[in-house]
Structure 1
Amino acid sequence: MSANPLLEAALQYARQGLSVIPVQAEGKKPLHEWKDAQEHPAGEAQIHDWWSQYPRSNVGIVCGAISGVTVVDLDGPDGLTSFKELGLPTSRVVKTPHGYHIYYLYTPDLHTGAAFLPGIDVRSDGGFVVAPPSQASGKSYEVLQDHPIVEIGPIPHELLSQHRNGTAPESNTAPGWVSDLLAHGAPEGSRNNDAIRLAGYLHSKGHPVDIIATMMEGFAAKCQPPMEQHELRSVIQSALRYPQKQAAVRIDGAPQMENLGDRYVFRWPNHNLVVEMGSIHRDHEDIRCLLDLYREMEDGSRDYLYGPVKYNIVTTGDRTGLTRYLKD
């Protein structure tokens, strides 16, 4: 038996049919591209190889169909209060540095990132959770209750109905990664990316620039190495170039499509929403690229929604999805 408890935990999870990945020590970032782990679980040889390279890495469990689990993530006191109010059964419960993870059998109707009650969101297809005995922010992930997941089954319909109906208000609780960065700063190697991410989050929540600067100064001083003032100013100025958060709008129904030759136009008349899409050919692939995203106003003008942001657009059957990415 290995003397490394993290390796042993990863192997044990794999033997239970869970897809595992190595995650940054004392953090939550995957240590390599993990798309393949969403389709093919790593074997024991691969797991041994990972933990020989990164012996202190945390253990991540890929959620969704590949592992047969959907995890409810309770963040802070809001999450625990909201979950208790639902009165739902629990199976495997893990205490995290900032809340709890509740494991259920895979529930296809719920999607990763669905935040439908204060302090509660979901990890399913396309998401992962950090698992015991990992550590972050100097605190351990611990199993509090280890009832077999199969005895509980998928997430009950009471929770699904809350998600589908969209009845829950948005949580004001900051995500765990925000609390981590504000409390501990960023490690060497991810400092600049974490700084931009944090400043962008604070700006998106509507904080004025003086508050952002004050919060970011504390973060900058704790980074490894600490950020210089001119670096911090540059990060904040970059974040301020993007619009602050707008209220989310649920778009129902399939769009009307019009082919204009050089572009396609998708319209959702009930929402006055228009997407104009063209194509870029690269390396023999047809990369579909969003050109414009706006609302058509009564006077014929266009209300552009997201400023300097482009989107990839992907169509599958009758479903249309947008993936956001920043302009070059």
Structure 2
Amino acid sequence: MLKEFQLLEQMRSDDPLKAAEAYIAAGLKVVVIHGVDEDSKCTCRKPKCKAFKHPVSEFFSHGAHSATTDMKLVRRAFRKVPNGNLAITLDDLTVIDIDGPEGRQLIADQRFPRTIKVRTPRGSHSHYLGGLSGKTFKLPQADVLTGADRYVLVPPSLGAGGKRYRWATMGPQEAAPLPAGIEQLRRRSPATARAAHTKIFEGARNDTLFKIACSLRRHVDQDMLQSILQEVNRTACETPVPDSEVAALVASAGRYDTESADLFGPPTIRESLPLEFLWYPYIPRHAVTLLAGDPGKGKSLLVAQLIARVTSGRRLPLSGKRASGRRVLLLSAEDNWARVSLPRLEKAGFDIDNLHIMQKFRSLTDERIEAMAAFMREWRPDLVVIDTLSAYMGGARDMHRQNEVGEFLGRLTELAEETGAAILGLAHLNKQSGGMPLYRVVGSIGFMATIRSALFMGNDPDDPERLALAHGKANGSEKGPTILFERVGGGKNEVPILRAVDTSPATDADVCRVERGPVGRPSAERDAAIALVQEMLSDKPVAWETIQAAAEARAIASKSTMNLVRADLAREGKIVQVGRGKAAKWISGDDSRE
């Protein structure tokens, strides 16, 4: 949340790159916008373009939703369009855009507090700290703009007449809080006045709003269409429908009767974009990551650690870096919020002001996905956790059918790409003893085919008392090393947490190995392995690698059998571990000494 907006001297620079650095330093997100060339034409060079002010689509394909704090991306955009302009998104900001004497007088009559102001080619922009719940609206010769789905040009942008946007030199140097009286101006909006004479009654609301959306969808982008429809819903419907339903109608209109020209054609983005990560290389942005493991192997504890570190801005496990963002949206079908999730997060040290949750468990039907999409566009979470994916698919979809899984995850991927979020979906593994963990995820293979990164939680194969996070799939980066965790605390009145202690060369197959107890009479291989361990261990600590090497040299047992024997003997107290991590060694337990 933006807590203040102070003018910095660098924001007055004629160099858009220096100005962009200052806006980003102030906590704002920026968009590079097409400007005006020497011939007074849009720098996009499209013959019929008269819009100007539209984003450089190669880098900001989703408009305000593609806004960035990455200066590398901003520099690339300005190299592509040297005469481009600069805009900021209005997340937690409201701007009054005055472009005529009638609007100037209307706003002057309100006696709003003075605030920072931009001199524009046609008037001025007054910036206030805080957002409106009712979205953008128009006034005579003035607009009131707000919301994360909106952007405004800022200095040193150049207008169509060759005049630059400039910050006012006189007056306040910090944005004033949003005046309460701004919302009262909404009733003076021409749209509101027309709606007072045209009412949409219950029973005709959805059909009428859908027809309006279909008639406008080819002329405005989806963000503008949703704002228009929300305004019509609020002012014209006798009983307004929920905002989530408006979002679903907009999405339906976008899919309705699509012409071939909307589906096929040359690519609109012609320059590659950099891969972005919330946690490199484990969790990419703009994509879905899967976290899978057997029950009780620490997936939820790991999620609590991630949420705590992201929301509080602390360093990620065994990393000197912090997550690129601090907002988290949590959907949890398996854990009670007050009794389970909240205590875990509190123990892990999260910042509750940066967390939103799904208040009640509801499966993600098409309509609810659209409602979640509208929320994500508005609040812009950096991490979205869905625990578990199969639960939120709901009963109407079959998790064992690849086409249904693919469609569900495909829509989540679209959301991640559109908003820049990292979506982390949790899943369970089946009990099959063979095969790679990628193929043991419960449900269709479509779960693994659609995601970009796959993480697996299980036991440290060298120490059954520790947990391990292995990187099983990585599209677009190298795999990260397996991270080892200790479970700290826990008990009747204490919540356990995970503490990262080391890395390991263990693979996802090692971490997710299915351990089975012996059935019937123990095998000769197992007997020989037990005898070797008891022979080599005494009061003097011995590294397990030494025992393993002896087993291989004598062809006594495989590495997996030796690891199972070690786990069983340790559980029974017949051998004892001394030390931790790479320095760990083993001695004979009391009940096996003679």
Q: TM-score, normalised by structure 2?
A: 0.30
Are 1:95 and 2:119 an aligned pair?
yes
Contact 1:22–1:57 (Cα < 8 Å) also in 2: yes
Q: SS at the partner of 1:136? A: coil
Q: What is the correspondence of 1:251-290 to structure 2 with a 5 Å cutoff?
A: 268-269=201-202, 273-276=204-207, 290=210
Contact 1:131–1:141 (Cα < 8 Å) also in 2: yes
Larger Rg: 2
Normalized per residue, the structure richer in strand is 1
User: Structure 1 CA distance, aligned partners of 2:61 and 2:90?
Assistant: 12
Equivalent position of 1:170 in the other structure = 190
User: Structure 1 CA distance, aligned partners of 2:15 and 2:28?
Assistant: 17
> Cα–Cα, structure 1 residues 34 and 71, in superposed 2: closer, same or farther, change >3 Å?
farther
> Cα–Cα, structure 1 residues 250 and 43, in superposed 2: closer, same or farther, change >3 Å?
farther
Offset at 1:34?
A: 4.9
> Cα–Cα, structure 1 residues 58 and 146, in superposed 2: closer, same or farther, change >3 Å?
farther
Offset at 1:81?
A: 1.2
Equivalent position of 1:47 in the other structure = 74
- 5+ residue gaps, structure 2, are 1-9, 37-51, 231-240, 260-594
Structure 2 residue identity aligned to 1:130 = L
Match of 1:141 among 152, 162, 165: 165
Q: SS at the partner of 2:82? A: coil
- Across the aligned residues of Structure 1 and Structure 2, the Cα RMSD in angstroms comes to 4.0
Offset at 1:56?
A: 1.6
Equivalent position of 1:13 in the other structure = 23
Contact 1:11–1:47 (Cα < 8 Å) also in 2: no
Offset at 1:35?
A: 3.2
User: Structure 1 CA distance, aligned partners of 2:154 and 2:180?
Assistant: 26
Q: What is the correspondence of 1:67-146 to structure 2 with a 5 Å cutoff?
A: 68-112=92-136, 114-115=137-138, 117-125=139-147, 126-137=149-160, 138-144=162-168, 145=170
Q: SS at the partner of 1:268? A: coil
User: Structure 1 CA distance, aligned partners of 2:145 and 2:185?
Assistant: 16
Q: SS at the partner of 2:78? A: helix
Match of 1:157 among 169, 176, 180: 180
Are 1:31 and 2:56 an aligned pair?
yes
Are 1:57 and 2:84 an aligned pair?
yes
Offset at 1:52?
A: 2.0
Structure 2 residue identity aligned to 1:123 = L
Q: SS at the partner of 1:52? A: helix
Normalized per residue, the structure richer in helix is 2
> Cα–Cα, structure 1 residues 95 and 71, in superposed 2: closer, same or farther, change >3 Å?
same
Are 1:318 and 2:340 an aligned pair?
no
> Cα–Cα, structure 1 residues 46 and 250, in superposed 2: closer, same or farther, change >3 Å?
farther
Offset at 1:80?
A: 0.9
Aligned residues: 203
> Cα–Cα, structure 1 residues 307 and 5, in superposed 2: closer, same or farther, change >3 Å?
closer
Structure 1 residue identity aligned to 2:82 = P
Structure 1 residue identity aligned to 2:87 = G
Structure 2 residue identity aligned to 1:111 = K
> Cα–Cα, structure 1 residues 99 and 40, in superposed 2: closer, same or farther, change >3 Å?
closer
Identity %: 21
Contact 2:93–2:127 (Cα < 8 Å) also in 1: yes
User: Structure 2 CA distance, aligned partners of 1:102 and 1:10?
Assistant: 19
